[in-house]
Amino acid sequence: MSSSGVPTTVSDGGSRTQEFLEEVFEPLHRAEQRRWARAYLQGLIHASGRKTPRGMARTELMPPATAHGLHQFINASPWDWEPVRRRLALWVAANTTPRAWVVAELTIPKRGVHSVGVHRRLNAATGRFINCQQAVGLFLSADAHCFPVGWSLVLDDAWDRDRQRRRRARIPEAETARPMSSYIFDHAAAVAAQPRLPRVPWVLDLARCEDAGGLLAGLARHRFDVVCEVGPAQPVLAGHHASSVTTAGRLLEMRRTRRPYTAERQAAGSLPRTAPIRAYAGTVRLPRHDTDREGGSQRYRLLELRDPDGRQPARYWITSLTDRCVEETMALVCSRAAVRTAVTTLREQFGALDFAGRSFPGWHHHMTMVSAAYVHQHLHGAARSLAMSPVPHAAPTRAAG
């Protein structure tokens, strides 16, 4: 330990940890930013209680004076979070066996009205409105985990109208209120723009999406395969020739159009142990969407999952994996259970709910660091401590303006 009380070395850091830090945070151009990134990561992993700069600085890992530097690194230092997230996604892809891209929502309760993006939102579980931030996370499902590699912050119309509030929160002009499907498509477009990222299927819950057809058309344009849950009223076109529009639920009600399957041993918490599944005997298309330049040429397989006890309504999936067996396709749905576990872990262990600042860049900086902490611990061992390094004495350079 140094004379200032800051630990300078620790065992069990490991060469892989050093490689992780150097690779993921290489886009931070200044050495002091990379040192503060490491200090913030240490705080997220080791500190108990709320993972705020003040809370992390209370631990034995660093002196209380470092709280100011941690705060400046997240809220004022002008670093771009997108290159760090791309490095994080590439690190996950290179060190695992990727299976699917998964998107999940994260609700962050808030008391006041000043946090960026805070708004009133209906909580579907309780039926009550809550004051919260709403985020859309991008996860790469690999092995037994889902790894967070991207985030969007949802804005409502009130944030579009209040220009002064937007300036205080430093929200870019391009960030406006829009449908949830738009945030998902933005994540897909970002993945498509990175040829080194894996071209694995997208597993999505679109059962309550207002524009599932438009989103599926957008994913088809990027030539992504999909396994998506949709509602029974999802419009589809059956047959190879011109036909009238029907719905997923109505099509699978017709006995002559379906084939029964039984998918065994699905993952706990995702599907029943023995899941009675019915598949449409042919393939379906989607009605042409305004943004679908290819005229809805993508063909999909339609699947229906019945509740063995008949207590819950049937669930429907549409997939472009028409050459895969039903069991293999439905196994990808297990990624949805894994992403729910990941979201819970992010909330409870890595400080996803604990950002105390009010700016748009600050929120994205914090969530980037939360994601990096999660990836490090799940890839390189939760029992292995992140190697300590000297905490820089100076705070990161403050952003201009």
Residue 264 vs residue 380, higher pLDDT: 380
Given a contact cutoff of 8 angstroms between Cβ atoms, the answer to whether 355 and 151 are in contact is: no
pLDDT at residue number 58: 83
pLDDT at residue number 258: 61
Rounded Cα–Cα distance for residues 355 and 363 (Å):
7
Strands 202-205, 226-230: pairing is parallel
Q: What does the pLDDT average to over 327-337?
A: 90
Residue 252 vs residue 389, higher pLDDT: 252
Q: Write down the pTM of the prediction.
A: 0.88
The DSSP result for 138-195, as a single string, is EEEEETTEEEEEEEEE---HHHHH-HHHHHHHT--TT-----HHHHHHHHHHHHHT-T
pLDDT at residue number 35: 94
pLDDT at residue number 254: 80
Which residues lie below 8 Å from residue 126, measured CB to CB, with a gap of 6+? none
Buried-exposed string 214-239: b where 16+ CB fall within 10 A, e elsewhere: bbbbbbbbeebbbbbbbbbebebbbe
Beta strands in 71-210 (DSSP E): 98-109, 119-123, 128-142, 145-153, 202-205
Q: For the ranges 15-19, 351-355, 382-386, which has the lowest average pLDDT? A: 382-386
pLDDT of 362 strictly over 60: yes
pLDDT of 320 strictly over 60: yes
Question: What is the per-residue pLDDT across 257-304, written as a single tens digit (0 to 9) for each?
Answer: 666 665 544 443 455 555 678 888 889 999 876 555 554 589 999 999
pLDDT at residue number 245: 87
pLDDT at residue number 82: 98
Q: What does the pLDDT average to over 167-183?
A: 95
Rounded Cα–Cα distance for residues 323 and 392 (Å):
55
Token couple for 94: 């290179």
pLDDT of 83 strictly over 70: yes
pLDDT of 386 strictly over 80: no
pLDDT at residue number 278: 86
Residue 370 vs residue 307, higher pLDDT: 370
Rounded Cα–Cα distance for residues 100 and 106 (Å):
19
Residue 319 vs residue 380, higher pLDDT: 319
| Residue carrying structure tokens 């985990």 | 145
Given a contact cutoff of 8 angstroms between Cβ atoms, the answer to whether 315 and 329 are in contact is: no
Rounded Cα–Cα distance for residues 238 and 244 (Å):
8
Q: Which residue from 393, 270, 250 is spatially nearest to 340, judged by alpha carbons?
A: 270
pLDDT at residue number 5: 34
- How does the average pLDDT of the chain come out, rounded? 86
| Confidence tier at 395 by pLDDT (50, 70, 90) | low
| Confidence tier at 370 by pLDDT (50, 70, 90) | very high
Given a contact cutoff of 8 angstroms between Cβ atoms, the answer to whether 276 and 339 are in contact is: no
pLDDT at residue number 122: 80
Question: What is the per-residue pLDDT across 178-211, written as a single tens digit (0 to 9) for each?
Answer: 999 999 999 999 999 999 999 999 999 999 998 9
Map residue 93 onto helix, strand or coil: helix
Which residues lie below 8 Å from residue 167, measured CB to CB, with a gap of 6+? none
Residue 123 vs residue 364, higher pLDDT: 364
Q: Return the bridge partners of 129, or none.
A: 122
